[in-house]
């Protein structure tokens, strides 16, 4: 993997240290331009469909709602942005991370094509080229004869992987929203409420605190539960174990917390399950340091299950990943055995050994961390244990 260090980026750009936003914008552009030069690219185009906006947001620091948005970063000129939604042009202008925002349509990419032609670019890297609709790809090919279009998805992924202090400040703010989300979750638990009721309480609280969005899964029941899903009309019962994966997005950044709570006091089996999953998560955290791989973190988690004869429940038959990267996208590189992605200082990801076991059914436990010089830092402040509805505020 190419090294996109913040140190090399700061050496090639002169910035005013008193202007944090401008420092951050310049740092990002320098990182990307260093990578562009290494790959002989004349410009980068970040493409964002409605559900993968992280690269455009990285260049614009703006929440855009167009069905398709693009941002162009030349090797030696100012960045520009384009959207199919007219209302997006206002925040682009107000945020001022790009010199212009222009309206496009799926049927008319002429403003983008004119911008690239004016640059005289011959080799363009496109972030999320793999997701670019055929109609847009063909428009670029026909409008830019002789220009080579190549994927820059990995380039963007590597650039975004290391979080700056500016980004970590935003993520710590997001972590406080996740902590509040969990408190509202526990406070909503009682026999007779539905999963919908619980999610509604959480959504109300996080939106009150300024969250833009939330990805949330939930599962309630006893040892028959095999996994999590979106909420349902299922009514909570005494003795249920209620599992959730909460991921509010605040100021662009997704911050996940995974916890489980019981309706009423926990059974011995539920507590035993909680202890197992805490041990596995702790084992994953214990190996984190700069230079460790996602594979090594996953092995550390899974070895705890293997120690107790539960290794089969770490396979893809029962679970997907043992964690994953988060930042401007909520599910980036996976923490699984076989993924040898190197984790640098400043990378952020969640460690969650979530899976089914026969002990008490599917269990959810995990925390998002940032890799530090000596290990890792947990970003949320919620206690790392099994909770109970008996702890509800005011009860």
Q: For 359-394, what is each residue's pLDDT tens digit?
A: 999 999 999 999 999 999 999 999 999 999 999 875
The pLDDT of 152-157, averaged and rounded, is 98
pTM for the full predicted model: 0.91
The pLDDT of 21-47, averaged and rounded, is 97
In which band, very low, low, confident or very high, does the pLDDT at 16 lie, cut at 50, 70 and 90? low
Instruction: Look at residue 126 and give its three-state secondary structure.
Output: strand
**Using an 8 Å Cβ cutoff, are 121 and 76 in contact?**
no
Per-residue pLDDT, 47:
98
**Using an 8 Å Cβ cutoff, are 220 and 228 in contact?**
no
The pLDDT of 31-35, averaged and rounded, is 98
**Could you tell me which residues come within 8 angstroms of residue 3 by beta carbon, excluding any fewer than 6 positions away?**
none
Query: Which residues of the chain form beta strands (DSSP E)?
Result: 43-49, 68-74, 80-83, 101-103, 123-127, 148-151, 213-221, 241-250, 253-254, 257-262, 323-325, 348-351, 355-357, 361-363, 366-371, 376-378, 387-388
Cα torsion at 189, 191, 195, 196 (round to 10°)?
A: -90
Q: 327: which 2 tokens?
A: 């930042």
How many CB atoms are located within 10 Å of the residue 394 CB? 4
Per-residue pLDDT, 248:
97
In which band, very low, low, confident or very high, does the pLDDT at 14 lie, cut at 50, 70 and 90? very low
**Could you tell me which residues come within 8 angstroms of residue 378 by beta carbon, excluding any fewer than 6 positions away?**
285, 367, 368, 369, 384
**Could you tell me which residues come within 8 angstroms of residue 327 by beta carbon, excluding any fewer than 6 positions away?**
54, 160, 161, 163, 167, 171, 253, 254, 348
């Amino acid at each position: 993997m190419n090294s996109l260090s913040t140190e090399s980026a700061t050496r090639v750009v002169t910035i005013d240290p008193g202007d944090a936003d401008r420092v951050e914008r310049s740092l990002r552009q320098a990182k990307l331009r260093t990578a562009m030069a290494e790959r002989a690219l004349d410009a980068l185009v970040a493409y964002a469909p409605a559900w993968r906006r992280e690269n455009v947001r990285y260049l614009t620091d703006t929440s855009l709602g167009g069905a398709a948005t693009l941002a162009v970063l030349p090797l030696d000129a100012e960045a520009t942005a384009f959207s199919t939604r007219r209302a997006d042009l206002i925040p682009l202008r107000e945020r001022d991370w790009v010199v212009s925002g222009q309206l496009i349509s799926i049927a008319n990419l002429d403003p983008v094509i004119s911008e690239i032609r004016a640059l005289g670019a011959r080799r363009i890297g496109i972030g999320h080229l793999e997701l670019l609709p055929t109609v847009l790809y063909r428009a670029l090919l026909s409008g830019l004869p002789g220009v080579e279009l190549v994927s820059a998805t990995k380039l963007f992924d590597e650039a975004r992987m290391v979080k700056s202090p500016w980004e970590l400040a935003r993520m710590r703010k997001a972590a406080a929203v996740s902590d509040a989300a969990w408190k509202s979750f526990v406070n909503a638990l009682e026999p007779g409420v539905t999963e919908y009721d619980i999610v509604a309480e959480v959504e109300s609280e996080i939106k009150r605190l300024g969250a833009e969005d939330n990805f949330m899964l939930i599962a309630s029941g006893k040892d028959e539960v095999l996994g999590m899903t979106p909420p349902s009309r299922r009514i909570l019962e005494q003795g249920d174990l209620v599992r959730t994966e909460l991921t509010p997005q605040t100021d662009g950044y997704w911050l996940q917390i995974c916890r489980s709570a019981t309706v009423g006091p926990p059974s011995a089996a539920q507590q035993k399950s909680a202890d197992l999953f805490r041990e596995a998560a702790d084992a994953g955290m214990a190996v984190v340091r700069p230079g460790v791989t996602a594979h090594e973190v996953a092995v550390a988690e899974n070895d705890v299950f293997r120690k107790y004869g539960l290794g089969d429940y770490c396979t893809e038959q029962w679970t997907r990943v043992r964690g994953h990267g988060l930042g401007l996208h909520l599910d980036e590189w996976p923490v699984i055995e076989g993924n040898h992605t190197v984790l640098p200082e400043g990378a952020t990801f969640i460690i969650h050994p979530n899976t089914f076991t026969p002990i008490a059914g599917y269990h959810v436990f995990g925390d998002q961390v940032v890799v530090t010089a000596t290990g890792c830092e947990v970003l949320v402040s919620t206690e790392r244990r099994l909770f109970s509805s008996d702890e509800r505020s005011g009860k």
